[in-house]
Amino acid sequence: MVDEHEQTAAVLDAVDAIADRIDAETDHLTDLDSAVGDADHGANMSRGFAAARDQTEDMADASPADVVKTVGTALISEVGGASGPLYGGSIMKASAALAEGLTEEATIEFAETYLETVQDRGDARPGDKTMVDALVPAVHTYRKSIEEDDLPPLTALSKAVDAAERGVNYTVPLRARKGRASYLGWRSVGHQDPGATSTLFILEELLDVAAEHLDGEVDRDATSPTIPDEDLEE
């Protein structure tokens, strides 16, 4: 990619776009969380990303990794609930992968560290009806698209967003096994997971901003399998 200054500008654009999107989706996320939780996911996330935008506003001269780290700390202190430490702590930890800038390898490393940290801290597996159901297919698809299919990062990201969308849909028929929704037992079946949904919104905004900054084709609606079989084995 381009020089550090432009990379930071792209990251700040992404923070801005995500904060706007989450703000616009607050009621939608609240509705999803009222069906299976305590109706705070919309408020939690919009408070968190508003703080992330405020705290990064003056960081045009910082490194991209420092901006991402600040987003993580803002989310940790502002989001609360189960999702705050998962989102914030994982973004903060994964930001170290961007120390050398936003190279292809660094973005793969970022995505994988983010997913690993969410799973280490939340102990959720694919099929538990959480944000992990959007993340696992997205992260696997991103890496595979670059490393095995040799696609440019932008196209890889668009396939990853697609995979996340299928992961979100896949949460609907599941019975929740983690988080507040698990208290509902079978009554959680038939509802879409709020955290998987907010994960998808964030990825969609990352894709839009990446499309403004990178060459390559945006190719949504891919047909590759959503979840690799090995992740579904107990």
Residue 49 structure tokens: 């990303």
Cβ atoms within 10 Å, residue 24: 11
At closest approach, how far in Å is the CB of 128 from Mg ion?
16
The closest residue (CB) to Mg ion is: 37
63 vs 52: CA distance, rounded Å: 16
The closest residue (CB) to ligand ADP is: 195
- Contact flag: residue 33 with Mg ion (CB under 5 A): yes
Between helices 194-213 and 153-171, what is the axis angle to 10°? 160
Q: Alpha helix (H) ranges present in 25-173?
A: 26-36, 41-56, 64-78, 83-94, 104-122, 132-147, 153-171
CA atoms within 13 A on the CB side of 40: 13
Q: Please identify, among the stretches 1-9, 26-34, 151-159, 220-228, the one whose residues bind Mg ion according to the rule CB under 5 A.
A: 26-34
- Contact flag: residue 183 with Mg ion (CB under 5 A): no
At closest approach, how far in Å is the CB of 39 from Mg ion?
7
Name the strand (E) or helix (H) holding 9.
Answer: helix 4-24
155 interacts with, out of ligand ADP, Mg ion, none, CB within 5 to 8 A per kind: none
Q: Please identify, among the stretches 7-15, 40-48, 72-80, 99-107, the one whose residues bind Mg ion according to the rule CB under 5 A.
A: 40-48
At closest approach, how far in Å is the CB of 161 from ligand ADP?
17
Report the residue from 38, 100, 149, 212 that binds Mg ion according to the rule CB under 5 A.
38
Instruction: Name the site residues for Mg ion (rule: CB under 5 A).
Output: 33, 37-38, 40-41
